[in-house]
Amino acid sequence: MRSIYADNSATTAIAPVVLEKMMPYFTEIYGNPSSLYRIGGKAKEALEKARENIAKNLGAKFPSEIFFTSGGSESDNWALKGVCHALKSKGKKHIITSKFEHHAILHTCQALEKEGFEVTYLDVYENGIVHPEDVENAIREDTAIVSIMYANNEIGTVQPIAEIGAICKKHGVLFHTDAVQAAGYIKIDVTEQNIDLLSMTAHKIHGPKGCGLLYVRRGVKIDNLIDGGAQERNRRAGTENVAGVVGLDAALQLSLDTMEERNAKLIKMRDRLIDGLLKIERSRINGDRVHRLPGNVNMCFEGIEGESLLLKLDLNGISASSGSACTSGSLDPSHVLLAIGLPHEIAHGSMRLSFSDENTEEDIDYILEKVPEIVNYLRAMSPLWEKIKKEEAAQIS
């Protein structure tokens, strides 16, 4: 049976060239970067070299604006909690975000609400895109920070980050973006795009899990999230994940070097797949078709439930995901799909396929063969589909 990994928005395989660069830092140059002896000094050197290159690749003015973390969730937590706690004494108690952020943002906002902060959750409309004018209208005297994701993790819609950045700059409000899904697929320039804080992680772009970063523009007041030793210029304690950082740098570099060609290939595959799957009756594509990550396909099929679709796909060798309730252990369907206005019963039947450089046109052929078969099979045993067809027939007659 064919085996297709189509869940690259969840995580990716480490690229061989990235792994190769990381290996010496596990076994040879394993010293603690804070130590004085040579093996520590060499590790420190690798760390700072990576920081410098990453800063350049993200358009940061100074390497010291890059802080290494354990990944996207930590970076998101730190950005919001750190800034809000630092600005609280100045009377800033308001946060602006969107309804379809990652839970690392939404649950952090909820935690801050419990502390007395107020949060405005902006609408993302039917196509899954935040309107910059809504950001402007929501800004208040006491707004501490605006946090809008660069690209959505479920439906892949790309947000007008530069426009939002310009608005925040105009009003003197800090702007954070969670770029976990966008990095490596979209050219990010924190200076040009007026981004004050940015989260990213290595494992979505063929780097290792457990290593990410928070970009913090010089001059931004931010409290620590993790207290302890003096690492990361006293801002983030804990012995540095040197191999991880080397991997993060190598993965970002690789993704930028290959971006243009890879995106062109992925967009072609994505669009062929979407067009093919839309031929299934009562199917829909979720999120804007143009302002969308090159490798993201998110569809709903009425009358079936997402988890059973995923299990069937898995039995056919296809690894996919759904925004569905069932996989996350809650009974509610995806908050992202509800945010773009889908009713519960349709949002339950979602499927996300996310591709990387390693996928091929043959993978798309296979998926185009299997998905309609599975959808038909599940619909044939679905009392909901039976109802939909009955209503349809009643409307015609």
Partner 1 sequence: MAYSEKVMDHFANPRNVGEIENADGIGEVGNSKCGDIMKMYIQVENDIITDVKFKTFGCGAAIATSSMATEMIKGKSINDALKLTNKAVMEALDGLPPVKVHCSVLAEQAIKAAISDYYKRKGIDPEPFVGKVPECDECGCNL
Residues near partner 1, by CB under 8 A: 303-308, 311, 315, 324-327, 329-333, 343-345, 348, 381-386
**Which residue in the list 109, 168, 211, 326 is annotated as catalytic?**
326
Q: What are phi and psi of 156, to 5 degrees?
A: 70, 10
CB contact at 8 A, 18 and 245: no
List Cβ neighbours of 267 (8 Å cut-off, separation of 6 or more).
294
Per DSSP bridges, beta strands 4-5 and 318-319 are parallel
Six-digit token pair at 352?
Answer: 């996300």
Shortest approach of partner 1 to residue 326 CB, angstroms? 4
Shortest approach of partner 1 to residue 338 CB, angstroms? 11
List Cβ neighbours of 168 (8 Å cut-off, separation of 6 or more).
135, 139, 146, 174, 175, 194, 196
213 in helix, strand or coil? strand
Q: Is 84 a catalytic residue?
A: no
Q: Report the residue number, 282 or 291, with the smaller CB distance to partner 1.
A: 282
Q: Report the residue number, 31 or 333, with the smaller CB distance to partner 1.
A: 333
Q: What are phi and psi of 96, to 5 degrees?
A: -115, 130
Q: Rounded CA gap, 296 and 201, in Å?
A: 18
Q: Report the residue number, 33 or 303, with the smaller CB distance to partner 1.
A: 303
CB contact at 8 A, 166 and 133: no
Shortest approach of partner 1 to residue 151 CB, angstroms? 27
Shortest approach of partner 1 to residue 328 CB, angstroms? 9
Shortest approach of partner 1 to residue 306 CB, angstroms? 8
Q: Report the residue number, 119 or 388, with the smaller CB distance to partner 1.
A: 388
Six-digit token pair at 59?
Answer: 């358009």
Q: How far is CA 107 from the centre of its chain?
A: 15
Q: Report the residue number, 287 or 323, with the smaller CB distance to partner 1.
A: 323
Active-site residues, by number, are 326
